[in-house]
Amino acid sequence: MTTKVLVVADIKHGKLKSSTPELLSKARAIGAETAVVAIGSHMESLIPRLADAGADTQYVADDPGLELFSAGPWASCVAEAAGRFAPDMIWFGFSESGKAVAPRVAARLDAACATDITDVKLEDGRVEITRPAITNKVIQRVQVNAAKLVAVVRAGAFEATQGIGGTQNVVMLSPPAPDAGAVIKEIVSDAGGEIDLADAGIVVSVGRGVKDQAGVALAKQLADDLTAGFGSSRAMVDAGFMPHSKQVGQTGKIVAPNLYIAIGISGAIQHLAGMKGSKVILAVNKDPEAPIFSVADYGIVGDLFEVVPILREEIKKIRS
């Protein structure tokens, strides 16, 4: 019997995020029949993209009441799509919305629930997943015994297969009732057009070494040059220079970009926990003994106030 996977589309500011085709590609790769559920408002332009991303059925909930995220109604839409598609697995991309909705759906469906999975396999008709635990200090291999699994997939865990495509087969879902007990009043935006740390290809992060706002601004220029996500160590957040939403580390965000540039970051264990999955790490620090150098692929020992402008110059040269 073919496994069926329902992927919950990750939509931000009306655009489909990379996790959606990535998750659908993985589902196809393990031989599953795929469907996607997309929830929001003004969805018409998105619909063709949903099939292209690799789903053969597209469940769509399109309603003005779904303009602002609210976990209750989102869970209802996913549950309705699941009721119709009868998936064995429901996968969410790694987002705050995904993390808020997945456990609700799992509870409603009495399904197993796994957060931050890095791999999934079908072994003798059973689902086996791999995921980190104990703040990324160990990896668990988990056998799922329940009939259904709801999972939140780690950012970048799966790769999108180019041009996989699917059949356009849209099923409109009925708009869910709003959550009367938890009324979303407004969303106070991050600075407009901010790059999401979780799916940025390059992340530039600042640590205490940048000293102050001027240092932060210097590093931000590098980030802007590279159209990179801009992150922070805990020290800079605690000191009030950076918001918590930018914190990379054990109690902040876990990121795994292609390139992580650590500027003035010493490399405390709890920070390393958040970024050591990066493909390539470049560190700039004036202390040659800084622990960050033990994980950096390339380490520049020097004064970041001198090095960062040179980095920007050299990168401009290479790219032109």
Which residues ranging from 171 to 190 are in contact with another protein (CB under 8 A)?
Answer: 179-190
Q: Which residue number, 169 or 303, has a Cβ lying nearer to another protein?
A: 303
33 token code pair: 């029949």
The identity of residue 175, as a single letter, is P
Q: x/- site string to another protein, residues 10 to 39, per CB under 8 A?
A: --xx--------------------------
Residue range at the interface with another protein (CB under 8 A); choices 18-26, 170-178, 208-216, 310-318: 310-318
Q: Which residue number, 80 or 196, has a Cβ lying nearer to another protein?
A: 196
Q: Of 33, 52, 119, 128, which lies in the binding site for another protein, with binding defined by CB under 8 A?
A: 128
Task: With CA atoms as reference, report the closest residue to 277 among 260, 252, 298, 292.
Answer: 260
281 near another protein, judged by CB under 8 A: yes
Q: What is the DSSP letter of 247?
A: B
Q: Which residue number, 158 or 293, has a Cβ lying nearer to another protein?
A: 293
Task: With CA atoms as reference, report the closest residue to 267 among 311, 209, 216.
Answer: 209
Q: By CB under 8 A, what part of segment 204-223 binds another protein? A: none
258 near another protein, judged by CB under 8 A: yes
| CA–CA gap between residue 234 and residue 240 (Å, rounded) | 10
Q: Of 172, 177, 244, 287, which lies in the binding site for another protein, with binding defined by CB under 8 A?
A: 244
Q: By CB under 8 A, what part of segment 81-110 binds another protein? A: 95-97, 99-100, 102-104, 106-108, 110
User: Which residues, including other chains, have CB under 8 Å from residue 120's CB and lie 6 or more apart?
Assistant: 26, 30, 89, 127, 128, 129, 130, 151
| CA–CA gap between residue 148 and residue 158 (Å, rounded) | 20
Residue range at the interface with another protein (CB under 8 A); choices 37-45, 52-60, 82-90, 293-301: 293-301
Q: Of 21, 26, 69, 210, which lies in the binding site for another protein, with binding defined by CB under 8 A?
A: 69
227 near another protein, judged by CB under 8 A: no
Size of the site for another protein (CB under 8 A): 89
* 210 to 129, 172, 285: CA distances (angstroms): 40, 51, 10
Residue that the structure tokens 């999108």 belong to: 160
- Write down the least CB distance from residue 162 to another protein, Å: 18
Q: By CB under 8 A, what part of segment 134-173 binds another protein? A: 134-146
User: Which residues, including other chains, have CB under 8 Å from residue 233's CB and lie 6 or more apart?
Assistant: 205, 206, 207, 208, 247, 248, 249, 265, 266, 268, 271
